[in-house]
Amino acid sequence: MEAGKRLWDKIPEVYKTNTLYFTDKCSSYNFIPEDMHIIVKEVNRLTNHVERLFCTLRQRVSRLVRSTLAFSKKNENHIGAIKYFICYYNLRYSLI
């Protein structure tokens, strides 16, 4: 819970005011304000889209996976690879 509070303090204010947060019932998310926090019950399964995107990200950006030859230790390389993937993914799949 303490790590979550530290993370919350680092989030830019625009994301704290204009965003909804979908989580499971875990009590470690108690630091998120109630009006922004939506608890996803097992019946709804609303997180499958995000989980699918994360899986696609891990598969297509091989430098994020430590056991591959493409893994990079530089944070700048990770950020660049993720930005490139997001731009490509949004352009490719927004036209369909």
State yes or no: pLDDT of 45 exceeds 80.
no
CA distances from 71 to 16, 19, 63, 76, 81 (A): 32, 32, 4, 12, 11
Secondary structure class of 23 (helix, strand, coil): strand
Mean pLDDT of the chain: 81
> What is the structure's pLDDT at 90?
82
> What is the structure's pLDDT at 14?
84
For residue range 63-78, list pLDDT tens digits in order: 777 777 777 788 888 8
State yes or no: pLDDT of 55 exceeds 80.
yes
